[in-house]
């Protein structure tokens, strides 16, 4: 509708009057020319009469001619709010019969109703609203100051923890270098010890040991010859046996030859006892041979010389290896029982005490080195992490958890740990593990994100976002689930208090 001349005068007055709905810094844009005309702000080629501003009719394509009415969509109405904080209201709420005091405490958004004396007439309540606002700001200021004290304490604690970690890292790195040097020295000693111990082994063997080795070789030759002879005799016996078998089969008893009969009877007696007799002889002969060889091997250890720095351990090991080879040869040739080898080996083996001790020291140091390297890498990664927030403040809250019973569930989260939901039966659900910390632009809040929680039944993996707002204590204020299996926590905490957000002076207008 087109406004009356009276209303227009109220809106405009004379040429120097303020245009309703326009901020002070923009008033200069709303001045008529010498002919009382005015050009649309974004379309200067379109010129209208200055009287057409705020006439409830959209004349400009950019709607700039209606800053104080609801005629044109998308505009905003400026509330001066003398004595309080200015505000802006969507133009659609101008002159709608509702007093929007939360934005326009001066009631200027309903100017048409006020001018016409219609109900409701929106009174100017900026004074009382500002008084409440100032009181609230004082309360918030007190809370923020208390919260900042706690936050600063946490920051100092985090600094100390960071310093301690740095000192621990430096100490470990110095210890690592020292151990690496010691290991290198010990390995060099070990290599030298092994090299010196192995030099001249053959020359270090005394004549007694060499003689016994020669005796073993002679015994080997004799027993080899004896076995060859035995094999030859066995072959001849087989031939004679075959001849007697043939004679026995083809002999004619009618010839009545006493010599032949006697020979056949003797042959039958021998063959009847052949197995037992030959086995017994074989066992006796082999046992005798085994005993001789066993005595030689068992007594060989008595011929070992006294230990010397050059021969300790390595010479004994060399002798043991030679004895084992001889022992194996005897076993392979059936001259020695296999079961006796283990007992001999265990009783004759002598460790090199010095080499073993040094090797154990080196191995222990290397194990210590590996652990130190792991610790150093973890410390470096921890110190370089950005997941502790500004000033590393979350270090001071490590293992700190907050919980609150909200309705059917108890919700809990730990700053560097896990977020969870627990029902009345004590069944806990993992909502995610701490992943990162964010500081949204143009916001006083701090966001903690928790990822990779338990999988929802036939749904996504649970996750949670925790918004921290400034207060002097930690408390979970509310929890919601805006999306399935995505949880939102609103939590009060001192770590969200920003020093530059504290109101130092009361908002008091001189105009009041």
Residue 93: exposure state from Cβ atoms within 10 A (0-12, 13-18, ≥19): middle
Token pair for residue 87? 């505000």
Whether the per-residue pLDDT at 184 is higher than 80: the answer is yes
Q: Which three-class secondary structure state does DSSP give residue 89?
A: strand
pLDDT the model gives residue 323: 64
Query: Do 47 and 37 touch, CB atoms closer than 8 A?
Result: yes
Q: At 451, which helix (H) or strand (E)?
A: strand 446-451
More confident residue, 44 or 269: 44
- Residue 458: which CATH number? 2.70.130.10
Query: Do 209 and 319 touch, CB atoms closer than 8 A?
Result: yes
Pairing assessment for the beta strands 446-451 and 76-79 based on DSSP bridges? unpaired
pLDDT the model gives residue 8: 46
Count of residues making up the chain: 512
Distance CA 59, CA 36 (A): 16
Distance CA 247, CA 261 (A): 10
**DSSP label at 461?**
B
Which of 98, 123, 148 represents a domain boundary (last residue)?
123
Query: Do 282 and 324 touch, CB atoms closer than 8 A?
Result: no
What Cα–Cα distance (Å) separates residue 326 from each residue in 306, 334, 346?
23, 12, 16
What's CA 92's distance to the chain center, in Å?
Answer: 55
Residue 348 — very low, low, confident or very high, per pLDDT cuts 50/70/90?
very low
- 40 found inside a domain: yes
- 510 found inside a domain: no
pLDDT the model gives residue 215: 72
Whether the per-residue pLDDT at 420 is higher than 80: the answer is yes
Residue percentage of the chain with pLDDT more than 70:
70
Task: Give me the phi and psi of 100, to 5 degrees please.
Answer: -90, 70
pLDDT in tens, 191-231: 888 777 655 455 555 555 666 667 776 776 777 677 677 76
Distance CA 76, CA 95 (A): 13
- 61 found inside a domain: yes
Residue 504: exposure state from Cβ atoms within 10 A (0-12, 13-18, ≥19): exposed
pLDDT in tens, 110-123: 988 767 666 667 89
More confident residue, 145 or 284: 145
Residue 310 — very low, low, confident or very high, per pLDDT cuts 50/70/90?
very low
Query: Do 461 and 510 touch, CB atoms closer than 8 A?
Result: no
Which of 69, 104, 123 represents a domain boundary (last residue)?
123
Token pair for residue 459? 């749904």
pLDDT the model gives residue 196: 73
pLDDT in tens, 251-308: 767 666 777 777 777 777 777 666 544 555 564 555 555 445 555 555 555 555 554 4
Query: Do 210 and 202 touch, CB atoms closer than 8 A?
Result: no
- 65 found inside a domain: yes
Residue 12 — very low, low, confident or very high, per pLDDT cuts 50/70/90?
very low
Which of 63, 90, 123 represents a domain boundary (last residue)?
123
Q: Tell me the Ramachandran region of residue 449: left when phi exceeds 0, alpha when psi lies from -120 to 50, beta otherwise.
A: beta
Give the lowest-confidence range in 215-229, 305-319, 466-480.
305-319
pLDDT the model gives residue 454: 95
Query: Which residues share a beta bridge with 331?
Result: none
CB proximity list for 447: less than 8 A, separation 6 or greater: 437, 438, 439, 440, 465, 466, 467, 468
Residue 93, domain extent:
16-123
Q: Which three-class secondary structure state does DSSP give residue 479?
A: strand
Distance CA 278, CA 231 (A): 13
Query: Do 311 and 202 touch, CB atoms closer than 8 A?
Result: no
CB proximity list for 119: less than 8 A, separation 6 or greater: 113
- 96 found inside a domain: yes
pLDDT the model gives residue 507: 46
- 35 found inside a domain: yes
Distance CA 449, CA 415 (A): 10
More confident residue, 210 or 367: 367
- 211 found inside a domain: no
Query: Do 130 and 344 touch, CB atoms closer than 8 A?
Result: no
More confident residue, 190 or 2: 190
Residue 189 — very low, low, confident or very high, per pLDDT cuts 50/70/90?
confident
Token pair for residue 207? 């004549």
Residue 191: exposure state from Cβ atoms within 10 A (0-12, 13-18, ≥19): exposed
- Number of folded domains in the chain? 2
- 315 found inside a domain: no
Query: Do 79 and 87 touch, CB atoms closer than 8 A?
Result: yes
Whether the per-residue pLDDT at 370 is higher than 80: the answer is yes
pLDDT the model gives residue 13: 38
Residue 446 — very low, low, confident or very high, per pLDDT cuts 50/70/90?
very high
Residue 67 — very low, low, confident or very high, per pLDDT cuts 50/70/90?
very high
pLDDT the model gives residue 467: 96
Tokens 């005394």, located at residue: 206
């Amino acid at each position: 509708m087109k406004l009356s001349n009276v209303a227009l005068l109220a809106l405009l007055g004379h040429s120097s009057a303020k245009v309703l709905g326009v901020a002070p810094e923009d008033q200069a844009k709303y001045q008529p020319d010498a002919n009382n005309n005015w050009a649309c702000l974004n379309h200067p080629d379109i010129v209208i009469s200055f009287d057409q501003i705020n006439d409830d009719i959209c004349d400009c394509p950019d709607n700039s001619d209606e800053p104080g009415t609801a005629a044109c969509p998308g505009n905003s109405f400026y509330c001066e709010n003398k004595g309080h904080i200015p505000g802006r209201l969507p133009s659609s709420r101008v002159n709608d019969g509702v007093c929007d005091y939360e934005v326009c405490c001066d009631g200027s958004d309903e100017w048409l109703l006020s001018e016409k004396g219609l109900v409701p007439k929106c009174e100017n309540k900026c004074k009382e609203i500002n008084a409440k606002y100032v009181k609230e700001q004082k309360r918030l200021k007190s809370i923020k100051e208390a919260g900042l004290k706690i936050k600063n304490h946490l920051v100092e604690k985090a600094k100390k923890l960071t310093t301690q970690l740095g000192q621990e890292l430096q100490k470990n790195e110095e210890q690592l270098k020292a151990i690496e040097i010691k290991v290198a020295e010990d390995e060099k000693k070990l290599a030298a010890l092994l090299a010196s111990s192995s030099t001249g082994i053959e020359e270090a063997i005394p004549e007694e040991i060499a003689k016994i080795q020669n005796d073993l070789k002679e015994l080997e030759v004799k027993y080899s010859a004896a076995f060859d002879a035995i094999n030859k005799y066995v072959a001849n016996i087989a031939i004679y046996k075959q001849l007697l078998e043939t004679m026995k089969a083809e002999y004619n008893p009618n010839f009545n030859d006493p010599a032949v009969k006697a020979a056949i009877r003797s042959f039958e007696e021998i063959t009847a006892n052949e197995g037992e007799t030959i086995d017994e002889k074989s066992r006796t002969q082999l046992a005798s041979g085994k005993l001789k060889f066993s005595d030689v091997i068992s007594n060989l250890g008595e011929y070992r010389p006294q230990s010397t720095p050059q021969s300790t351990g390595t010479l004994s090991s060399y002798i043991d290896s030679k004895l084992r080879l001889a022992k194996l040869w005897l076993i392979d040739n059936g001259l020695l029982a296999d079961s006796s080898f283990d007992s001999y080996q265990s009783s004759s083996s002598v460790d090199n005490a010095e080499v073993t001790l040094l090797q154990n020291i080196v191995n222990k140091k290397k194990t210590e080195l590996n652990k130190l390297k792991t610790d150093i890498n973890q410390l470096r990664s921890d110190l370089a992490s950005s997941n502790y927030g500004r000033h590393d403040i979350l270090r001071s809250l490590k293992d700190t958890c907050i919980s609150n019973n909200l309705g059917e569930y108890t919700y809990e989260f730990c700053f560097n740990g896990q977020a969870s939901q627990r029902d009345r039966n004590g069944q806990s659900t993992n909502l995610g593990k701490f992943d990162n910390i964010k500081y949204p632009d143009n916001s006083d809040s701090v966001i903690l994100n928790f990822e990779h929680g338990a999988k929802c039944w036939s749904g996504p993996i649970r996750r949670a976002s925790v918004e921290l707002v400034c207060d002097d204590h930690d408390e979970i204020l509310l929890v919601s689930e805006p999306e399935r299996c995505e949880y939102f926590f609103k939590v009060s905490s001192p770590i969200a208090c920003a020093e530059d957000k504290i109101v130092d002076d009361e908002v008091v207008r001189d105009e009041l």
